[in-house]
Amino acid sequence: MLKCAMKVALGDAPVLILGESGSGKESIARAIHRISARRHDSFVKVNCLTTGAGMLESKLFGHERGPLDDIAGRKIGRLEPASLELANHGVLFLDDVAHVPQDLQDKLLRLLQRREFEAVGGTRAIQANVRLIASTKYDLGKRVAEQMFRGELYDQLNVFPIWVPPLRERRDDIPMLARYFTQKFARRLNKHIESIPAESMSLLMNANWPGNVRQLEILIERSVALTDGPELRVSHFGELQQSKVVNG
């Protein structure tokens, strides 16, 4: 996965990152940005799930105001800079791209094909030099078959797909991630934690992690907050034991 991300970062084509919720898709997108030729320019994230359809269009493309919108009767431009303008020369990351309404999918397709867009209520084409990275937990091919996602847009996004495996399928990553999160939150909370006891690490290694890396990060943050000594005290053992892997 990481080798693929490093190769993709050297180009400028769109990237589609696939994986379960909490598996680390945004981290991969940011890693691609950090090692790409656009690393010195913006990384702008837009969550397509939590932003309403009307708000999403304005957030992405901006909004033209009428000539009489202010007291003096002047045309004062957009309400706020479009995400595409903020990401110009950088990367626009569309999180949960499967939730983009179908009418906006046409505008995204135009952006990918012509590198231009129009603000909401606008009539002129605006050039946008951005690299698009999108993520989703859904099978977009299936959504295309169900006529919920435009096939041409899927083809444009799917040039370089990257699959991020769930944490339960890459258990060797758990010790490294656990130590990283421990030190991250120990610094933030001004605590000195030197190690994770074998018993606690075994518990972490054998949990099923339905919430993936995000669930591990939240648990470690909570554990660091509750730890007083130099060894991490993993909190909520019962919660982890309930999601423990069932052998066989």
Report angle CA 136, 141, 147 to the nearest 5 degrees. 105
- Name the CATH topology of 168-242: Helicase, Ruva Protein; domain 3 (1.10.8)
Full-model pTM: 0.85
Residue 196 near residue 179, CB atoms below 8 Å: yes
DSSP 66: P
Three-class DSSP category at 146: coil
Spatial CA neighbour of 102 closest among 138, 161, 159, 152:
152
User: What is the structure's pLDDT at 245?
Assistant: 47
Q: Is 54 exposed, middle or buried (0-12, 13-18, 19+ CB in 10 A)?
A: exposed
Indicate if the alpha-carbon torsion angle 146, 149, 151, 154 is positive or negative: negative
Closest CA to 217 of 161, 179, 248: 179
E-strand stretches of the chain:
15-18, 43-47, 91-95, 116-117, 126-127, 131-136, 160-163
Domain 2-165 has CATH 3.30.70.1450: no
Instruction: Note the Cα 149 to chain centre separation in Å.
Output: 19
How confident is the prediction along the chain (248 residues), in pLDDT tens digits per residue?
889 999 999 999 999 999 999 999 999 999 999 999 999 999 999 999 887 767 888 888 887 655 444 444 433 333 456 788 889 999 999 999 999 998 899 999 999 999 888 877 777 788 889 999 999 999 999 999 999 999 999 999 999 999 999 999 999 999 999 999 999 999 999 999 999 999 999 999 999 999 999 999 999 999 999 999 999 988 765 556 555 544 33
Q: What is the DSSP letter of 168?
A: G
